[in-house]
Amino acid sequence: MKRFQFISSTVLVALAVSGCNTSFDVKTDSESGLSYNSSTKNGTDAVDKSIWTGKDGKQKSISNEKKISNGKSMRISARNIDGVESKLEAHGDVVFLKGKASKLPADAKVTLFEKREGVSKEGELRAEGSQIKVWMKKGNSYVEGNADDQAWADKLLASFNWDDTPDPEKKKDLAKQKLDDPEFAKKLATLHYSKDVTEVLTEKAKSPTLSAKEQVALIDVVFEKVHYDKDQKAILLALIHRKDLAKDASAHLLDKLDKIHYKEDQKLIQRELFDRASAH
């Protein structure tokens, strides 16, 4: 524990010295352990990282990085969830649409990696005419993948859900969509940065047209799609402070209190709900 806190502090100092715009949140909780969240933006470069300890006692992490170097873009997404490590890395002007590579220039490179149950797989996407196929790493070289390899690559790509549709267009589309529509959560996941997810859900929480059914749906989406504890709390408080907070939404949130990592935040939400109920 002490070693990890030291590493986190070192990262914070480095980011502060570099002049980056950084959001940094570290908390310790007796039940869920240490949670580390950071969001950094420096010009065209951006990094989102989240590390937490699950109820199984194992550490989990998600990171997304995007930068421009020598006029070329670079993107890396990495995850370590439930013992499965995966990574998607793209160099150059690659275009992804809804979890699929749709444009792969000759000077671009996309690599995929997954380690599951001690077995590692690594592949590279290559354009062949109008198709984009996976080549698998064997030793120090790559060989053309078979149907199973392609299925693996397609599934891994889809799980990262990269989508280069401009975020402003996505957010406009999400603003029009009902929260209880099953497609809402899928489209929300295509937003590149956590701040955009938080912005969309905060606007929904404050929307005057949010129905009782959507209020309930919002709670589930917040716990599923918002990774940072402080953002979860802010959205839920915005919902609680609505004049028309539905009884079903209030009851649903009380039922979901164990989804909130920290006891202090659980008590705050519970207190706000009880204060709200006693005032009416």
- Shared-domain flag, residues 148 and 181: no
- For 1, other C-beta atoms within 10 Å of its C-beta total 9
List the structure tokens of 13: 């100092």
| Percentage of residues of the chain with pLDDT beyond 70 | 83
pLDDT of residue 8: 35
Residue 63 in any domain: the answer is no
List the structure tokens of 173: 């589309």
Domain boundary among the residues 164, 193, 211 is at: 164
| Interatomic CA distance for residues 43 and 269, integer angstroms | 36
Residue 202 in any domain: the answer is yes
β-partners of residue 27 are 35
- Shared-domain flag, residues 183 and 265: yes
Q: Cα–Cα distances in Å, from 144 out to 82, 104, 123, 132, 133?
A: 30, 17, 9, 11, 8
- Shared-domain flag, residues 217 and 138: no
**Above 50 in pLDDT, residue 18?**
no
Residue 278 in any domain: the answer is no
- Shared-domain flag, residues 135 and 184: no
What is the 3 state secondary structure string of 207-251? CCCCCHHHHHHHHHHHHHHCCCHHHHHHHHHHHHCCCCCCHHHHH
**Above 70 in pLDDT, residue 10?**
no
Residue 60 in any domain: the answer is no
Residue 118 in any domain: the answer is yes
> How do residues 204-250 score in pLDDT, each as one tens digit?
999 999 999 999 999 999 998 887 889 999 999 999 999 999 999 99
Domain boundary among the residues 164, 193, 212 is at: 164
Global pTM value: 0.55
Residue 184 in any domain: the answer is yes
Residue 65: CB partners within 8 Å, gap ≥ 6? 45, 46, 47, 48, 74, 75, 76, 77
The residue with greater pLDDT, 78 or 67, is 78
**Above 50 in pLDDT, residue 126?**
yes
> Residue length, the chain?
280
pLDDT of residue 42: 64
Residue 62 in any domain: the answer is no
Residue 64 in any domain: the answer is no
pLDDT of residue 39: 65
Tell me which residue range forms the domain holding 153: 70-164
CB 152 within 8 A of CB 121: yes
**Above 50 in pLDDT, residue 85?**
yes
- Shared-domain flag, residues 149 and 182: no
The residue with greater pLDDT, 49 or 267, is 267
- Shared-domain flag, residues 10 and 84: no
CB 57 within 8 A of CB 38: no
- Shared-domain flag, residues 187 and 89: no
Domain total in the chain: 3
Q: Cα–Cα distances in Å, from 227 out to 30, 60, 197?
A: 19, 12, 10
- Provide the pLDDT confidence category of residue 280 given band limits of 50, 70 and 90: low
Residue 62: CB partners within 8 Å, gap ≥ 6? 48, 49, 50, 77, 78, 79, 81, 227
Instruction: Tell me the average pLDDT of the chain.
Output: 83
**Above 90 in pLDDT, residue 53?**
no
| Percentage of residues of the chain with pLDDT beyond 90 | 51
Domain boundary among the residues 130, 164, 198 is at: 164
List the structure tokens of 91: 């160099």
- Shared-domain flag, residues 186 and 254: yes
